């Protein structure tokens, strides 16, 4: 249903950015709705948080593809989604451009609900992606953590 993509430039070497973003324990530090993330067996991860006043606790896949300089994640529940975070730049010196891409494939019921508020939904998702990227930038550059919303 929806495809979203945002980018940011981080003043750090690609390797440093990739090491930080691919560590599951760092996810709550830069993902706005995630409060807890734990690696599971294989390429699985369990995340817990709150989005739009609703608590979530779900498991999905999380994998790092070093050959493409990116990590990928997703879930196959009622609201299927997947995404990737990619880093481009010199391995040993900055800057590094980081792009996040998110795709949603909601169930028919959720799709109908989303259609009623599609413009605000798109704005909210884009703002959340920008917030996550800014948090990642702040943390990797050592300037601070999550910016206030």
pLDDT digits (tens, 9 = 90+) for 88-119: 999 999 899 999 999 877 666 656 665 665 55
pLDDT band (50, 70, 90) for residue 56:
confident
Cis peptide preceding 95, ω within 30 of 0: yes
All structural domains of the chain, each given as residue ranges with its CATH number in brackets, are 2-32+67-141 (3.30.530.20)
DSSP states of 53-107 as a string?
A: TEEEEEEEEEEEEGGGTEEEEEE-SSEEEEEEEEEEE-SSSS-EEEEEEEEEEE-
pLDDT tens sequence across 123-144: 888 888 999 999 999 999 998 6
């Amino acid at each position: 249903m929806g495809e979203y993509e945002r980018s940011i430039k981080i003043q750090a070497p690609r390797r440093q950015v990739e090491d930080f973003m691919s560590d599951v324990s760092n996810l709550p530090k830069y993902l706005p709705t995630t409060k807890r993330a734990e690696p599971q067996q294989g390429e699985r991860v369990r995340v817990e948080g709150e989005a739009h006043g609703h608590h979530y606790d779900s498991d999905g896949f999380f994998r790092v593809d070093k050959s493409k300089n990116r990590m990928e994640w997703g879930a196959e529940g009622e609201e299927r989604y997947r995404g990737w975070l990619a880093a481009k730049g010199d391995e040993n010196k900055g800057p590094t451009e980081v792009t996040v891409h998110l795709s949603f494939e909601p169930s028919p019921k959720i799709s109908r609900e989303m259609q009623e508020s599609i413009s605000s939904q798109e704005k909210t998702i884009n703002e959340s992606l920008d917030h996550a990227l800014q948090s990642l930038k702040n943390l990797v550059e050592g300037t601070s953590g999550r910016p206030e919303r």
